[in-house]
Amino acid sequence: MICLGIETSCDETSVAVWSQENLLKEITHTQISMHSVFGGVVPELASREHLRKLDTLISLLQKELGSDLFSRLDLIAVTRGPGLLGALLVGIAYAKSLALGLEIPIIGVNHLHAHLLACNFSAPITYPALGVLVSGGHTHIYQMDSAHSFILLGKTLDDAAGEAFDKIGKILNLPYPGGKYIDLLGQRGTANSKIFTKPYLNNDNCDFSFSGLKTAVYNFIQKNEIPALNYENLNLEAVPQQVRDLCATVNEVIVETIVEKTRRALALCPKTRTICLAGGVAANTLLRQRVDNFAQTRNINFLAPPQNYCGDNAAMIAYAGIQLARCNQSSALDFEAIPRGQLFPDDYISKPLS
C-alpha cells in the first residue's frame, strides 16, 4: 500500500510518501522565519504560504520518487484537524482534488493521533498505551487501546505546554518559537523549583492549566530585573546565568507538571504497557528523560518519536493513514476541516481498499 500524506495544519507545509513499512520520502517547508517577525503564527499568512508551496513540494516528491508516482498511489491521507482553519483547508482541498482525479480513497487524519502514532517510528507500540501529546496547540493525555482507539483522559483548560514555553520565550525575548531555546538554555542552568508553583495540581484530575505560569514568570522577571536578550545573535554560552537558571526552572516546572498528570492517568489505566510521548514539546530533553525514568520505575515501555519527527510532519500523517486503511477506514469526499477547539467526529466510513 502506497500512501501520500499532506500536512498543512499550522506553520509547516509537509508532504510524504509511505510504502507499507517504509518512509520513501518526506519534504517539509517550515514557515518559522516568516512568522518569527510577529512572535507567533499569523493564520492568514500561513494559509497563503501553504498555497504557494504545496504544489511545488508535490512536484519535488515526483522528481525524487518518479514521475509515475501518482499512478502508484493507493491512498491519500491529509490532516483534517485540529489546526488553523484556513491552513487546513489548503491541504484538504488539494488532497481531495488529487483523490478525485486519481480515483483513490482519501482519509482525513486526526493530527493529534498521528503525532502519537509516530512513536512507532522508534519501536512498535504495545497496547494498551498511555498517549501524552504535548504540542504548541494541545496538551492531551489519552488512553490508547489500538492505533485507532483513543479515549481522552485529560487536556489543557487554557494554554498548551508548547504555548506556555513560547509565551515565556517571548517574555525573555528569545527567538520564536521559544520552547527549543528554553530547553537548550535550561540545560546550561540550575533549576530552583521553589520559585514557581507547579500549576493546577491542587485537584485530582488529569487536566492542565499553564496560563498562570507565564504571568508568574513575567512578574518574577520584573521583580528580579532579569536582563532582556538580544536574539539577533543569540550565543547560548554568553546568556547571563540568571536567564539560564530561569529557563532551567521553567523547564522543571512544566516537565514535572506533565509527569505528575501522567502518573495520575496511569492510575486510571493500570494495564498500560507503553507510555507514548509525542508532539513538538516531546523534543524537550528533560521531558523525554523524566517521562522515560517514570516509565522505568513502573516497568512500562517508554516511546517517543525520534526528535526530528516530534514536530509537525507529513510522514506521521501518511503513516496514520495506512494504519486506518488497514482497518478498512476511509473518509467520504465531502468531509470538513476540524479547527482547533471543535470535536473531531467519528465518521470514518468502512471501505476496503481495492
Which residues lie near Zn ion (CB under 5 A)?
Answer: 135, 312
- Eight-class DSSP state of 341: T
Strand positions, DSSP E, the chain: 2-7, 12-19, 22-30, 75-81, 106-110, 129-134, 139-146, 149-155, 274-278, 301-303, 329-330, 349-350
- Total residues contacting ligand KG4 by CB under 6 A comes to 19
What is the maximal distance between C-alpha atoms in the chain? 66
Q: Which is nearer to Zn ion, 7 or 245 (CB)?
A: 7
128 vs 339 by CB, closer to ligand KG4: 339
- Looking at the Cβ atoms of 135 and 249, the one nearer to Zn ion is 135
Tell me the C-alpha to C-alpha distance, in Å, between residue 197 and each of 38, 171, 250, 257: 30, 19, 10, 10
DSSP state of 122: T
**CB-wise, 177 or 321, nearer to ligand KG4?**
177
Cell of 315: 510522514
The site map against ligand KG4 for 253-292 (x = CB under 6 A) is --------------------------xxx-xx--------
Half-sphere exposure of 246 (CA within 13 A, CB side): 26
Dihedrals phi, psi of 177, to nearest 5 degrees: -80, 140
The least distance separating ligand KG4 from the CB of residue 346, rounded to whole angstroms, comes to 21
- Find the length of the chain: 354
Asked if 315 touches ligand KG4 (CB under 6 A), the answer is no
Other C-beta atoms within 10 Å of 152: how many? 13
- Burial zone of 189 (CB within 10 Å; 0-12 exposed, 13-18 middle, 19+ buried): buried
Determine which residue in the list 81, 136, 189, 321 makes contact with ligand KG4, applying CB under 6 A.
Answer: 136
Task: Write each residue from 145 to 164 as x if it is in contact with ligand KG4 (CB under 6 A), else as -, in one continuous string.
Answer: -----------------x--
Give the nearest distance from C-beta 82 to ligand KG4 in angstroms: 9
Q: Which partner in ligand KG4, Zn ion, none is near 305 (CB below 5 to 8 A by kind)?
A: none
Out of 180, 198, 214, 290, point to the residue binding ligand KG4 (CB under 6 A): 180
312 belongs to the binding site for ligand KG4 (CB under 6 A): yes
Q: Which of 311, 314, 330, 337 binds ligand KG4 (CB under 6 A)?
A: 311
Which stretch of DSSP H or E encloses residue 59?
A: helix 43-65
Closer by beta carbon to Zn ion, 252 or else 312: 312
Binding site for ligand KG4 (CB under 6 A): 10, 135-137, 162, 165-166, 177-180, 183, 279-281, 283-284, 311-312
